Structure 1
Amino acid sequence: MEKQPRPVEIKVHQQSRFLDIAFDDGAHFSLPCEYLRVYSPSAETRGHTPAQAKLETGKEMVSIADIKPVGSYAVKIIFDDGHDSGLYDWKYLYNLGKFHDELWQAYLEKLAAIGYTREDPELPEREN
C-alpha cells in the first residue's frame, strides 16, 4: 500500500484568504479559502449522494476563522460564514491541491451553467 503524504506545515493567510499546506513528499499547495469552502467535504455541501450535492455560491470573500487538528489524520476548518462541518483529511487536502485546476474549472463551469457571476472573478493575490 502506498504511503499517504502527510502535512508538515499548514498556514492560514487571513488577508489574502489562502491556506498554504506543505506535505512530507515535497508537494506544496496554496489553496484559496473560497475553493476550500465550495469543496467542503461536509454532507451539507457534498450531500450523501452526488445528486444531493449543493452548488455553493457567494463564497468569494469567505475566509478561515479557525483551523483545528483532528487526531493525526485531518483538520476541521471553521469558515467565517459559519460553516464548520466536514473534516479535511490529509488525502482530501492533497487531492484538492493536486487537482486544483480541474476542480476549480469544473466549479466555474457549474456557476456559469446557472448564470451566476462571481463578485470577484480574479482570485486574490497570495501572500508570501
Structure 2
Amino acid sequence: MAGVAALTDAARVRALNDAFRRSLTGGRVVVTVGVAALPETTHAAVLSAVRAFDRFDPTDDSHGEQDFGAVAAAGMRCFWKIDCYDHDLSFAPPDPADPTVTTPILTVMPVEEY
C-alpha cells in the first residue's frame, strides 16, 4: 500500500511543479549570476523555454516529479531545478505534495555554472 501512496504523492508533486514552472507563480524563481547578467531579451527567452519545457525522461526525472530539465534559448544552454522548502525556506516541507506547507524554489543557471 505504501507504493500506491508514494505514487500518488509523486503525481501531486509533479502537478504542483508543472503548475509552478509554467506560471512562475506560487513560489520563488532564482537565477544565478550567469542568467542575471544576460541581456533582458535572452533572460526572458531562457525563462520562456523553462516554462515550455516538456521533455522529461527517467534519466533526469527518476522520481517522476518533473523537477529538473535542460533548455536552450538564444544560444544559451541552461539547467533548471525545482526544490521544495517549508514556508520559512529553512527546511524541507513536512509534505512536498501539500501546497499549504510547501514553497517551491525554481533555480535557473547556465550549464557552465553547474
TM range (shorter): 0.3 to 0.5
Structure richer in helix, relative to its length: 2
Structure with larger RCO (C-alpha < 8 A, sep 6+): 2
The TM-score with structure 1 as length reference comes to 0.30
The TM-score with structure 2 as length reference comes to 0.32
